[in-house]
Every structure is written in C-alpha cells, then in structure tokens.
Amino acid sequence: MILVAGTYNWSAHAQCSTAYPLPSGGLAPGLAAFSPDGTLLATANSDTDNVALFDAVGGTLSGGTNFPLPSPADRPAQVAFSPDGTLLATTNEDSNDVSLFIVKGSSLSRGTNFPLPSGGNEPNSVAFSPDGTLLATTNFGSDDVSLFTVTGTTLSGGINFPLPSGGKRPGSVAFSPDGTLLATANGDDLSLFNVTGSSLSGGSNFTLPSGGMAPAAVAFSPDGTLLATANTGSNDVSLFNVKETTLSGGINFPVPGQGFLPESIAFSPDGTLLATGNFGSDDVSLFVVDCPRTAYLILQHSKLSKRSN
C-alpha cells in the first residue's frame, strides 16, 4: 500500500452544508442512516427514546417526525434500514432489545421489541445482512454478537456468539458485501467471523497496525477486498486487505488537519472514497481509495457548518 500525496479543495463544498434540528421532542441523536434508495434519513435519539425520520430529497431534509420506541424499549443507540428499505431496526442499550419498525412511505408503524438472547447485554450497533435475512447486534456489556433470522417483520432464532478470546467491548458491526463474513470493532482489536446460514464460526481477532488504538467503527469496501476502521484513540484510519477469512497488510492513515476522535466510517457506493465522522472536531474527513487494494490520497477535512437560506 502506498500513500499518494495530494489535496482536495473542500472549501467550495463546505458552504453547502446545512444543520437540521430534530423534530420537537427529539434529543441526543446517535448515528444516522439513509434508506437504501436515499429518500429517507433516520436517527436514534437516545435521550428521548424515539426515532426521527426525515424525507431526504434534493439535497435537503424535510418533514421530520419522531416515532416512539415500543414500550419498554429504552435508550436507542443506532438505527439500520433493511436492504429493501421496508424495515428499520434500532438497538436499545438500556432495555437489552431490538425494536423493529415497518417503513411505509415516510412513516414508521407496528414497532415491535425483540429481546436479546439470554446473556446479551447493552446492544449498541446493528446491521442487516446484504440479503436481509439476518440481523446482527454487537453487545458491549456481554462481549458478544447476537444473530437473528429475519422473517417478514419478525426476528427469531436469536443466538449469542462470544467474541474470540481476548475480544472485549464490541462497538460496531458490519457484514461483507457477499454476506459471508461479519466484522466487529472492539475496544482494542477487530474480530472476523464466517457467516454460514444463521450461524457464526471461525472467529479470529486481528490487532490494529502499530499505533492504532480504540477502533470505534468498521466498514467493508463495496467489493469486499478492504476493511477499514475509524480509531478514536489514535485519530487515524486503519485499512486492511481482506482475503477469505484473514486480514493482512494493515496500515494506519492519520485523520488530516484538525480532525479529532473519528467515530464513524463509510465507503462511497463505488468504493472510490472513504469518509470518517469526527466527533471531537465536528467535521468530516475524506480519503480517496486509489485502486481496489490500495488507498489513498488524503483529502482535506471539512468543518460542518450551518447555513441559513
């Protein structure tokens, strides 16, 4: 992997960013998620136990509405849409369950809670498999992953799979694009599992490259050949090659400029860009992925800004 020098003039685009308040009654939004077709945006609002849903058309957000979690769900941490966009799931840290809603137009209905399997504690991240038949959560308090089967609007067959020996405090989960692998970002390392049917096997832990600390989020590239983490403890991004069930060639890339505490990470749909959301500096860092297995042109980060029309 080679670091390619260069910069990107983000200043022309920063002025186009806009801050949108949550609907009245929504507080403390966690990670946001777009629907697969890009027409909706949802946030989990942990302090008010609801989900905010916005229309996202034409580069703006409108029609924001809060939808309460089904009782007694408490403290939603993250949201995820199913691949076909018909379901929305939240992980609820304080009630140890998952809420599942039906998405109809720009509304949510029939919210139902599904408890974690016995022993699962503090679910904090959630992901659907690419074919929509599985739902996974990482459970921070019990050092494991819960895997459910998705049938219609129901979750069933939940099983907890412990992290490989040494793995602790998982905080992010992702399926590979072909659905055969599942990765978690843990307090000090990464775990990688095989996905077979509705089961996980062959779990292995992989350490970050030297200097990398506290991975907060994990993501596969769209072609499945790369795996990236956002590392809050070292203000950088780690990038690995993925080959079958192994990670190799890990390299750290510093978050540019004044970027601080990267907590989320995502590849663009075509795999050419990699972005981090930096909690500590209220900005976004953007990297170019130069070719299928190398990264990189670091781009300048953009300060998030408000703009009034």
Lowest mean pLDDT among 14-18, 33-37, 176-180, 296-300: 296-300
Q: What is the pLDDT of residues 118-156, one digit of tens each?
A: 999 999 999 999 999 999 999 999 999 999 999 999 999
Q: What was the pLDDT predicted at 147? A: 98
CA distance 170 to 172: 6
Q: What was the pLDDT predicted at 138? A: 98
Cβ atoms of 136 and 162 within 8 Å: the answer is no
Is residue 30 predicted with pLDDT exceeding 60?
yes
CA distance 166 to 67: 38
In the 8-state DSSP scheme, what is residue 70?
A: P
> Whole-model pTM?
0.88
Cβ atoms of 169 and 141 within 8 Å: the answer is no
The answer to whether position 81 is within a domain reads: no
- Specify the higher pLDDT residue, 114 or 10: 114
Q: What is the pLDDT of residues 222-265, one digit of tens each?
A: 999 999 999 999 999 999 999 988 999 899 988 887 788 999 89
Cα-flanking dihedrals φ and ψ of residue 4, to 5°? -100, 130
The answer to whether position 148 is within a domain reads: no
Per-residue pLDDT band for 190 (boundaries 50, 70, 90) equals very high
Taking the CA of residue 45 as centre, how many other CA atoms within 13 Å lie in the half-sphere pointing to its CB?
A: 21
Q: What was the pLDDT predicted at 21? A: 81
The answer to whether position 254 is within a domain reads: yes
Per-residue pLDDT band for 17 (boundaries 50, 70, 90) equals low
The answer to whether position 244 is within a domain reads: yes
Q: What is the pLDDT of residues 282-301, one digit of tens each?
A: 778 888 886 444 444 344 44
The torsion defined by the Cα of 117, 121, 124 and 129, in degrees rounded to 10, comes to -20
The answer to whether position 210 is within a domain reads: no
The answer to whether position 253 is within a domain reads: yes
In terms of DSSP H, where are the helices of the chain? 11-14
Cβ atoms of 290 and 274 within 8 Å: the answer is no
The two tokens of residue 10 are 């983000």
The answer to whether position 235 is within a domain reads: yes
Cβ atoms of 22 and 43 within 8 Å: the answer is yes
The answer to whether position 83 is within a domain reads: no
Q: What was the pLDDT predicted at 290? A: 67
Q: What was the pLDDT predicted at 193? A: 97
User: Interior CA angle at 218 toward 200 and 226, to 5°?
Assistant: 90
Across residues 175-193, what is the average pLDDT?
Answer: 97
Q: What is the pLDDT of residues 54-113, one digit of tens each?
A: 998 877 888 999 999 998 889 999 999 999 999 999 999 999 999 999 999 999 998 999
Domain residue limits at 269: 221-309
Q: Give how many domains the chain has, as a whole number.
A: 1
> Would you call the peptide bond into 70 cis, given omega within 30 degrees of 0 as the criterion?
no
Q: What was the pLDDT predicted at 25? A: 84
Per-residue pLDDT band for 27 (boundaries 50, 70, 90) equals confident
Neighbours of 292 (CB within 10 A): 11
